[in-house]
Amino acid sequence: MKEPTMKTKKVRYIWIPIIIALIAVPIGFFYVDWSKSGDGAGLYSRDWIPDAMFAYWNPDDFYQSVSTIKGEFNGEQCISCHQAVTPGIVKDWQASRHSKVEQKVYCNDCHGSNHEDLHMPTPKVCSSCHETQHQQFVDEKRYGFPSHALAMERALDSKHFVDKPKAEVTACLQCHSVATKCDSCHTRHKFSAAEARRPEACITCHSGPPHPDDETYFNSAHGQIYLAEGENWDWSKPLRKGNYKVPTCAYCHMNEGKHQVADKPIWKFGIKQVNPLSSGNKIKRKQWVKMCSDCHAADWSAQQLKAMDAERKRAWSKLYQAEAILKGLRADGFLYPSAKQRPAYPGDTKHSLIQRERIGFFEGQASAFYNVSPIERDYFEMWYFENLAAYRGSAHGDISFVNKSHKAMDKSLQKLKQHAKRLRAHGKVEVDETTLRNIWLKGEYTEFNRENN
């Protein structure tokens, strides 16, 4: 029998990976589709069940029409009935532009006419009239996370939906629903553009430890002027130069009413270090300077961006010191409990081939949700709360918040150093695995969620 030549062997080597790829790619697509076909939504839809409230936060996936009323109705009939059932909604609609145009936009134009097959208005529904705004909103996806248009996808594809209590993930979706319904900004049923121009429309979600936009804006010079005089401004005016004495959130982030907020951020959310002078960020800097020049000198505006760059460099110097401490402890086996001792992360198994303590940007957020060692949790709060507070203060012109947050970071760094020193002095900890499992895998919180999610 003739042996295969070298040329024949090379051909085989070429075809083997091609055949594997042709088999693996369809299997991969099938698996993703299968994983999304459960009662929940997102990549882990088969591992959790939605709460009833999710129907209002993510109507495309979860809303089901009421069955108490049967029949098809026109707009006038909807108004006639709902004046008695939900008079507040009718009053809001009557005050809206929808009711004042020549061809009125009635309830059935947004919700449908068949009462047994009603739907909640989503951005797609609104786009039938507001095509430009919708296209601007959808186009935001090309900038990646974080963005309003991808907010729901970001939430639903997170593993913590598998094991977190429903009350907590419902709270997540309440804000992340900005991707799936326009009334996050234009509250129903007025859908007022004037209302959405005010900062209160944004701080409903943009508040709290990870993003204290409310505190930093209202503490800034812009916010102080708004608080003193904003009630007397004409909010019906568009977001253009000369129409407002100081900017609000929408004025800066939705320049001239453009329904896109992800096109200008240089430092994104502030949770990872970026190159502020990349070609893309140089363009964004010019956009910011141009916008700030509505009120300020261009040179002054450019200097503010440089000040923010300096603040970020200072913050990341501290964060990298903290990460180095934790990574050193991990390498030397001083983190307790170790990855092998603690429960598996949701969606993973206890016997995964790769198990490691999660430190830093890509995996460090897990410390917000799962059983980790105290020193890892302390680092998380330094990184995700104090660091982001300093960034927001710098971005919004609140130097007092910057100083307060950097003092907190300094204190946290010292605490981490002292904690690490104690861990090394104490030595490695040997604890019975069964004891650990009883501590973390048993009990009301973990067992109840595992059974009811």
C-alpha to C-alpha distance for 451 and 453, rounded to whole angstroms: 6
Domain assignment present for residue 26? The answer is no
> By percentage, how much of the chain surpasses pLDDT 90?
60
**Long-range contacts, stretch 58-66, CB < 8 angstroms, 24+ apart:** 58/152, 58/156, 58/173, 58/177, 58/180, 59/119, 59/120, 59/122, 59/180, 59/181, 60/122, 60/180, 63/119, 63/120, 65/115, 65/116, 65/117, 65/118, 65/119, 66/115, 66/118
pLDDT at res. 279 = 93
Domain assignment present for residue 148? The answer is no
Q: Is the pLDDT of residue 1 over 60?
A: no
Condensed to tens digits (0 to 9), the pLDDT of residues 53-74 reads 899 999 999 999 988 889 999 9
Domain assignment present for residue 377? The answer is yes
Task: Compute the mean pLDDT over every residue in the chain, rounded to the nearest whole number.
Answer: 87
Provide the token pair at 109.
Answer: 């134009």
Domain range enclosing 336: 300-452
Condensed to tens digits (0 to 9), the pLDDT of residues 154-212 reads 888 887 777 777 777 888 889 999 999 999 999 999 999 999 999 999 998 999 888 99
Domain assignment present for residue 314? The answer is yes
Q: Which residue has the higher pLDDT, 348 or 398?
A: 398
276 secondary structure, DSSP code: T
Domain assignment present for residue 107? The answer is no
Domain assignment present for residue 23? The answer is no
Which amino acid, one-letter code, is at 87?
P
Q: How many Cα atoms are found within 13 Å in the side-chain-facing hemisphere of 61?
A: 24
**Domain of 315: which CATH number?**
1.20.850.10
Q: How far is CA 296 from CA 74, 137, 174, in A?
A: 52, 28, 36
pLDDT at res. 51 = 87
Domain assignment present for residue 61? The answer is no
**Mean pLDDT confidence for 253-276:** 90
- Give the largest Cα separation in the chain, rounded: 96
Domain total in the chain: 1
Sign of the dihedral defined by the CA atoms of residues 78, 80, 85, 88, in that order? positive
**pLDDT interval class at 297 (50, 70, 90):** very high
Least confident of 1-15, 92-106, 266-280, 350-364: 1-15
Domain assignment present for residue 346? The answer is yes
**Mean pLDDT confidence for 418-429:** 88
Provide the token pair at 23.
Answer: 């088999």
> By percentage, how much of the chain surpasses pLDDT 70?
87
